[in-house]
C-alpha cells in the first residue's frame, strides 16, 4: 500500500507501507506479511475457485499507469488504460490434479450478480452483453451494486479532498452502452456515492423492480441520454429529478 506520508500531495515509491500484523478470527496474532492477501484469496482449489464480474479480483481488465518515482509519464492518457470494460466472462477451477495440472471451465454470458459488489474506477463501461435472460447485467434479488470513488490510489497526484478524505483517484464514471440492458430484481439496490456518475447512453435501458432501491447521494448524478430508458419507482425518480440528481440530455 502507498500513502502520502510526507503530505506533499504526491505519491512516490519510498512511501509504500507493507502491513505485517494480522489478527486472525480466533484471536491469534500473526506477523506474517499480508501484502499480497491471504492464501484463501488465491485462485486455487483451496481458495477462490471462480473469476467473474462479481468477484474480487474480477474477470475485467485492469487500469494501467506508467510512472517513475512520483511522476506520471503519460498523465493518465494513452497508451495507459483508464477504462474497465465489463465482459461477462466466467473462469471456474473445477479440479486440481495431484500431478499439477488444473481443469477449468471458461464461459461467457455470466451477467447475473448474486452478491453485493462495489465498483470503482476512472471509467467503467458495460457493453451490450447478452447473458442471463438476454440482459447485460442482472442484480440478484436483495443484492446491492455500489458505484463509488476508489480509496485505492490509481494516480500519483492528489485528485481531490472530499468528505474529509484525500483521494488519489478520480470519481467513478459508469457508462451503460447503447444496446445494453440492465435489470435490478426485487429488493436489490443501486447506490451512487462520492461524486459518481451513471450515464445511460441512447438505446440502453435500466429497469429496477418497484421494490428495488435507487439511492444517489448529493454529489452524484444519473444522466439519461437521448432515448435511453430508465424505469424505477416513480416517486424516487421524481425526487431525484427535483434534487438535480437525475438529468436528461438530448444527445
Tens-digit pLDDT profile for residues 204-246: 999 999 999 999 999 999 999 999 999 999 999 999 999 999 9
**Residue scoring higher pLDDT (32 or 4):** 4
Is the CB of residue 63 less than 8 Å from the CB of residue 121? yes
Could you say which DSSP state residue 41 is in?
A: G
Q: For residues 129-155, give the mean pLDDT.
A: 95
Residue 127 lies in a domain: yes
3-state helix, strand, coil in the chain (%, to 5): 5, 35, 55
What is the extent of the structural domain holding 197?
39-249
Q: What is the pLDDT of residues 155-211, one digit of tens each?
A: 888 888 887 888 889 999 999 999 999 999 999 999 999 999 999 999 999 999 999
Burial of 122 (0-12, 13-18, 19+ CB in 10 A): buried
Query: Between 151 and 9, where is the model more confident?
Result: 151
Kindly state whether residue 4 falls inside one of the protein's structural domains: no
Instruction: Average the pLDDT over 136-160 and give the result.
Output: 92
In a domain, 178, yes or no: yes
Is residue 12 a part of any domain in this protein? Answer: no
pLDDT tens digit sequence for 31-68? 555 555 666 667 777 778 899 999 988 999 999 988 87
Between 15 and 214, residue with greater pLDDT: 214
Q: Which three cell numbers stand for residue 24?
A: 486472525
Rg of the chain, C-alpha, whole Å? 20
In a domain, 23, yes or no: no
Kindly report the pTM of this predicted structure. 0.86
Domain contains 1: no
Domain count, the chain: 1
Amino acid at each position: 500500500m502507498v500513502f502520502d506520508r510526507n503530505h506533499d500531495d504526491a505519491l512516490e515509491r519510498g512511501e509504500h507501507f507493507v502491513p505485517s500484523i494480522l489478527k486472525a478470527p480466533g484471536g491469534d496474532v500473526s506477523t506474517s506479511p499480508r501484502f499480497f492477501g491471504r492464501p484463501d484469496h488465491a485462485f486455487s482449489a483451496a481458495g477462490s475457485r471462480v473469476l467473474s464480474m462479481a468477484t474480487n479480483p474480477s474477470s475485467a481488465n485492469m487500469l494501467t499507469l506508467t510512472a517513475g518515482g512520483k511522476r506520471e509519464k503519460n498523465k493518465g492518457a494513452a497508451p495507459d488504460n483508464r477504462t474497465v470494460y465489463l465482459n461477462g466472462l466466467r473462469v471456474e477451477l473445477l479440479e486440481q490434479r495431484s500431478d499439477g495440472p488444473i481443469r477449468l471451465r471458461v464461459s461467457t454470458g455470466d451477467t447475473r450478480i448474486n452478491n453485493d459488489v462495489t465498483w470503482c474506477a476512472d471509467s467503467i463501461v458495460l457493453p451490450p452483453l447478452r447473458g442471463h435472460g438476454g440482459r447485460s447485467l442482472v442484480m440478484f434479488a436483495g443484492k446491492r451494486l455500489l458505484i463509488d470513488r476508489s480509496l485505492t490510489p490509481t494516480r500519483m497526484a492528489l485528485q481531490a479532498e472530499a468528505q474529509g478524505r484525500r483521494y488519489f483517484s478520480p470519481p467513478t464514471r459508469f457508462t451503460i452502452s447503447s444496446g445494453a440492458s440492465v435489470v435490478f430484481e426485487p429488493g436489490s439496490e443501486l447506490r451512487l456515492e462520492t461524486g459518481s456518475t451513471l450515464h445511460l447512453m441512447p438505446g440502453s435501458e435500466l429497469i429496477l423492480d418497484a421494490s428495488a432501491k435507487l439511492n444517489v447521494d448529493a454529489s452524484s448524478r444519473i444522466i439519461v441520454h437521448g432515448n435511453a430508458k430508465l424505469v424505477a419507482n416513480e416517486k424516487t425518480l421524481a425526487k431525484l429529478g427535483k434534487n438535480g440528481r437525475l438529468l436528461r440530455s438530448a444527445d
